[in-house]
Structure 1
Amino acid sequence: MISKTYDIVIIGGGPGGIGSAIEASAHNIGEILLIEKTDNHSNTIRKFYKDSKRVDKDYKGQVTTLQGNVEFFDGTKETTLDYFNDLLDNEKIDAMFNTEVEKIEKNNDLLEIHTSKGIVKTHNAVVAIGKMGKPNKPSYKIPPSIRPQVNFNLDKCGTNEKILVVGGGNSAAEYAYELADQGNTVTLVYRKPEFSRLNETNESILKKCHGEEKLRLRMNTDILSLENEEGKVKVSFDDGFDVLYDRIIYAIGGTTPVDFLKACGIEVDENSKPIFDEHQETTTPNIYVAGDIAFASGGSIAIALNHGYHIVNNIQRKRGKIFAHTEKFDNN
């Protein structure tokens, strides 16, 4: 049992978690703790963004007005990490890295967060984790000899490669046109004749790239098997064609961490999405969701940061305090 009782504990060190922590500090919520399972905040940006990669405030141009105390602007991987470092370093926020959270239990008026380093007591908890658990994998065999060339994200992707992206969702679309923009020869294969899960922005970009021959769409086609042919990935399709690729990337979905959400006392709907109100509060009082886990599809850094603003606003409202807007932090 960790002796200190916190006013708010945030689980997850992405933009939603950072936004929640900064808003809580700006409005003097009290004792604040950020828990992250990796060794630093913003793990997705650190791990999957290439050096100097652009980081946008808004999701594919869908402009969102920032409502809170974080003035975030478009930048690069490096400037974004530097900015978040400065915010967290300058505020009175405790942090526990390399710490797994197992569950949240209610104990009278407090919440008990069970972690790999002990139990943390808090008045409010924010679950700001990624929405994907383990990625889905194909039913056919992936030969061990080509596994280094088979990805489930953009990690280790290079340039000037011939790449096959598998899937029909927003992640698959984004992988495909981003890789094409980086100078790769890209094909996106989808087993259905039409896309049904893409947001309008991604569908428009994908069709535009296809029309300009920046990438190829191979619709209504499924994969039968993978083989190693002289160091290349030989893909056999159900239309009778075999094609060699340097790399294959699967973006065929994954499991929402439903078990973890339930262990935290968070109800989910029939689609395994957390249920929460306009203040990001779940059906369990004083437990909130922010960031990726709260997005129906793709979401922006700006929206994730706004989640923190709404959460802290609601905590202040519950306490009967006036939510005074403080001076915004400058992004320099």
Structure 2
Amino acid sequence: MENLYDVVVIGGGPFGIASVVEAKKAGFKNVLLLEKGDNHSQTIRKFYKDGKRVDKVYKGLESETRGCVEFFDGTKESTLNYFDKLLDDGDIEAVFNAEVESVKKDGDLLIVTTAKGVFKAKNVMVGIGRMGKPNKPEYKIPPSLIQVVNYNLNNCNCGEKIIVVGGGNSAAEYAVDLSGCNDVTLNYRRSTFTRLNDINLAAVEDSARDGKLTLKLGVDITGIENDNGKVSVSYSDGSVVIYDRIIYAIGGSTPVDFLQKCGIELDSDTKPIVDENLQTNVKGLYVGGDIASKNGASIVSALNDAHKIINYIINKA
């Protein structure tokens, strides 16, 4: 049959790359990687600053790889180069700029519909990351401020007064990185940081102690307005501060609409319901990586998810 694949993988992040590499190593001939962006690893490219450390051991999560794809401590650049090599050496068929619209069951096959065509598959593995759809605040963001509202470091310039919103590692890294040549405030609604790794916590504390970074903790933002092209931020303590730019680093959300289009059942937290092999209620349709994780995910755990699924598919064949 035309366009019939043993395995189609949706999403070109660590889970997706490991999935197609594992599948080829396991002996599958017809394997396809689909990615909506123009290259693999969009989250790393967009949300990791240049030179960012990428550690194998992360926040107590599993750190030993179980499949044929290994991982090592490195930087943003070395990690991207490593994944480039995996795809090149594995002779992987990949289609970029191919956002998947839906996956539908048709007898024993799965029909994957994309902007680049329709593909038939015996097995489909979904590895769409949450950071591909960053969370936005509940209050309205004025459209006139779109040029100075960020979800990453794109278009940030030296000499700006910037507020970074969030209490996670990305927020901390953005704030510390920008504080070298900007007036930066890091705002977190809680009074203490509870989600930072030791390296980022130390960097934030050092920058604050040295006067390079202002911390505004235990205070929430109630809204923002346009003040002559600048961001007027209103806080829950009644204060109002004007900034040149605001950066939101408040996590990402599960692509609920897409999962529901695929017929995947979700739990009360909008997480896909999967069995011990990461198979959904739709036979042959699997979910791994970030969106399948209950307690946070790392690159290593995403690689291991890929190995688990491919190993199961091989053994049940």
Shift, 1:268, TM fit: 0.7
Q: Secondary structure at the match of 2:130?
A: coil
Counterpart among 274, 277, 280 of residue 278 in structure 2: 280
TM-score (ref. length: structure 1): 0.82
Question: Does residue 174 in structure 1 map to residue 173 in structure 2?
Answer: no
Relative to structure 1, the CA distance from residue 187 to residue 62 in structure 2 (aligned partners, 3 Å threshold; closer, same or farther) is farther
Partners in 1 of 2:95 and 2:178 — Cα distance? Answer: 40
Partners in 2 of 1:152 and 1:207 — Cα distance? Answer: 23
Q: Residue 58 of structure 2 contacts residue 298 of structure 2 at CA under 8 Å; is this kept in 1?
A: yes
Deviations 1:129-152 (A, max 9, x none): 1125363244245362x4322112
Partners in 2 of 1:240 and 1:178 — Cα distance? Answer: 28
Q: Secondary structure at the match of 2:15?
A: helix
Partners in 2 of 1:34 and 1:60 — Cα distance? Answer: 29
Deviations 1:39-82 (A, max 9, x none): 11112222333333322233346451011111211122222222
254-263 vs 203-212, which deviates more?
Answer: 203-212
Alignment correspondent of 2:301:
303
Q: Residue 11 of structure 1 contacts residue 128 of structure 1 at CA under 8 Å; is this kept in 2?
A: yes
Q: Secondary structure at the match of 1:7?
A: strand
Report sequence identity in percent.
Answer: 48
Q: Residue 5 of structure 2 contacts residue 121 of structure 2 at CA under 8 Å; is this kept in 1?
A: yes
State how 1:79-228 maps to structure 2 within 5 Å.
79-132=78-131, 133=133, 135-142=135-142, 144=144, 146-158=145-157, 161-167=160-166, 172-182=167-177, 184=179, 185-191=183-189, 198-199=194-195, 201-202=196-197, 206=201, 209-210=204-205, 213=209, 215-228=214-227
Q: Residue 279 of structure 1 contacts residue 311 of structure 1 at CA under 8 Å; is this kept in 2?
A: yes
Partners in 2 of 1:203 and 1:51 — Cα distance? Answer: 20
The residue identity in structure 1 corresponding to 2:43 is: T
The residue identity in structure 2 corresponding to 1:278 is: E
Relative to structure 1, the CA distance from residue 137 to residue 236 in structure 2 (aligned partners, 3 Å threshold; closer, same or farther) is closer
Shift, 1:96, TM fit: 1.2
Relative to structure 1, the CA distance from residue 238 to residue 308 in structure 2 (aligned partners, 3 Å threshold; closer, same or farther) is closer
Question: Does residue 256 in structure 1 map to residue 251 in structure 2?
Answer: no
Partners in 1 of 2:203 and 2:125 — Cα distance? Answer: 39
Relative to structure 1, the CA distance from residue 61 to residue 228 in structure 2 (aligned partners, 3 Å threshold; closer, same or farther) is farther
Unaligned runs of 5+ in 1: 320-332
Alignment correspondent of 1:17:
16
Give the ranges of 4+ consecutive aligned residues of structure 1 lying more than 6 Å apart after TM superposition.
Answer: none
Relative to structure 1, the CA distance from residue 157 to residue 4 in structure 2 (aligned partners, 3 Å threshold; closer, same or farther) is same
Relative to structure 1, the CA distance from residue 221 to residue 37 in structure 2 (aligned partners, 3 Å threshold; closer, same or farther) is closer
The residue identity in structure 1 corresponding to 2:135 is: P
Q: Secondary structure at the match of 1:30?
A: coil
Shift, 1:26, TM fit: 1.0
The residue identity in structure 2 corresponding to 1:150 is: V
Shift, 1:194, TM fit: 7.2
Q: Residue 179 of structure 1 contacts residue 186 of structure 1 at CA under 8 Å; is this kept in 2?
A: no
TM-score (ref. length: structure 2): 0.85
Q: Secondary structure at the match of 1:65?
A: coil
Q: Residue 254 of structure 2 contacts residue 270 of structure 2 at CA under 8 Å; is this kept in 1?
A: yes
Alignment correspondent of 1:40:
39
Partners in 2 of 1:202 and 1:159 — Cα distance? Answer: 27
Shift, 1:299, TM fit: 1.8
Partners in 2 of 1:186 and 1:105 — Cα distance? Answer: 47
Unaligned runs of 5+ in 2: none
| RMSD of aligned alpha carbons | 2.8
Alignment correspondent of 1:326:
none
Q: Residue 134 of structure 2 contacts residue 250 of structure 2 at CA under 8 Å; is this kept in 1?
A: no
Q: Residue 176 of structure 1 contacts residue 187 of structure 1 at CA under 8 Å; is this kept in 2?
A: no
Q: Residue 209 of structure 1 contacts residue 215 of structure 1 at CA under 8 Å; is this kept in 2?
A: no
Relative to structure 1, the CA distance from residue 57 to residue 189 in structure 2 (aligned partners, 3 Å threshold; closer, same or farther) is same
Relative to structure 1, the CA distance from residue 277 to residue 268 in structure 2 (aligned partners, 3 Å threshold; closer, same or farther) is same
The residue identity in structure 1 corresponding to 2:267 is: D
Q: Secondary structure at the match of 2:307?
A: helix
